[in-house]
Amino acid sequence: MKLVYLTIVCVWFIGTIVSSAASSSPPAAAFLSANHYAKTCPDAEGIIHRYMRAWLTKDPSLAPAIIRLHFHDCAVRGCDASILLNQRGSERRAYASQTLRGFRVIDTIKTELERRCPKKVSCADILTAAARDATVMAGGPFWEVPFGRRDGRVSLAKEADMVPQGHENVTALINFFQALGLNVLDLVSLSGSHTIGKSSCLSFNKRLAFFNGTKKPDPSLNVTYLSVLKSKCKSSQFNLVDLDVTTPTKFDTVYYTNLMNKKGLLSTDQLLFSDPRTSPFVSTLANQKELFDSQFAASMVKLGNVHVKTRPSEGEIRVNCNFVNA
């Protein structure tokens, strides 16, 4: 009887240890490292940087495009380059992804990295570093990017259509960000990327008339700004409008000042100032550029670590970012 009892106790004790070890295993992001390519592709960051510099010199509008592409990647299945897969039914083919740009930029960088370091650098890492370089080259802050992400093998259009499109309420935005492991401050600081870039009239046209079922425009829009937007969108709903009406090419905090002056382009932007959960952050960041830069960098690091795949069984190093390996 004693032997049976001792056996049961031992089994319970061992099971407890195993269970405890499993629950305390480090998150996937813990396996990322700034030195990940130190031996396998030491010039990886340099190559990404040089190609980004060349592309942005030719077309500065690619800076916000790459940052947005990175967000759309991380927002679905984590930062695994699933947005880059170009196949039927993929995120890239989704309706919500039709205005995404920058795919050729990533392709050219990947081609050079495959020439220099075959099958070593993931598309997910390339896109993450490219977003950082795009920010810096647009006048934003620098942050160290940890590497070691693997590329995902699954990409579904229906999941991409769940990414915020500019008309959600703040509660929906907060819930979406929390599901990614990001908080309210991350939501407000990452929205600050709208200090550069453009959006189509299609994204905000309901604010100009027939707002929320009425026959009137959104009352939270500055009257003068409303007239400007109506003029810009008169000829086509596909016309592009600066997200920051005041300093559209500067990576600064004027985006937040615009919200305080009722000049937020997207409904999701303007609501950040009217909602008590987010407005204090808007007011604070509007007047403190250094604080915005440091917080934006911190939030971008968190974004880049969302649901990353670091184990061989979880993903691969794609040879071509457009397709899973054969």
Whole-angstrom distance, CA of residue 168 vs CA of residue 179: 16
Dihedral (C-alpha) 251, 276, 272, 234: value to the nearest 10 degrees?
-130
Whole-angstrom distance, CA of residue 141 vs CA of residue 138: 9
Residue type, 67: I
pLDDT bucket at 97, cuts 50 / 70 / 90? very high
Reduced to 3 states (helix: H, G, I; strand: E, B; else coil), residue 200 is strand
Task: Give φ, ψ of 322 to 5 degrees.
Answer: -80, -20
- Tokens standing for 105? 């930029």
Do 277 and 241 meet the contact criterion of CB atoms below 8 Å apart?
A: no
What pTM was estimated for this model as a whole?
Answer: 0.91
Whole-angstrom distance, CA of residue 79 vs CA of residue 10: 42
What's residue 29's pLDDT? 85
Q: Within 10 Å of residue 276's Cβ, how many Cβ atoms?
A: 7
Candidates 154, 155, 176; CA nearest to 165 is: 176
The residue ranking higher by pLDDT, 19 or 326, is: 326
The residue ranking higher by pLDDT, 44 or 28, is: 44
Query: Which of the residues are catalytic?
Result: 72
What's residue 230's pLDDT? 97
Whole-angstrom distance, CA of residue 113 vs CA of residue 121: 7
Dihedral (C-alpha) 193, 95, 267, 263: value to the nearest 10 degrees?
50
- CA torsion sign, 193 to 197 to 203 to 205? positive
pLDDT bucket at 28, cuts 50 / 70 / 90? confident
Whole-angstrom distance, CA of residue 160 vs CA of residue 27: 24
Q: Which contiguous run of DSSP H or E holds residue 34?
A: none
Q: Residues 166-196: pLDDT tens digits?
A: 889 999 999 999 999 999 999 999 999 999 9
pLDDT bucket at 18, cuts 50 / 70 / 90? very low
What's residue 24's pLDDT? 59
What's residue 155's pLDDT? 97
Q: Residues 270-325: pLDDT tens digits?
A: 999 999 999 999 999 999 999 999 999 999 999 999 999 999 999 999 999 999 99
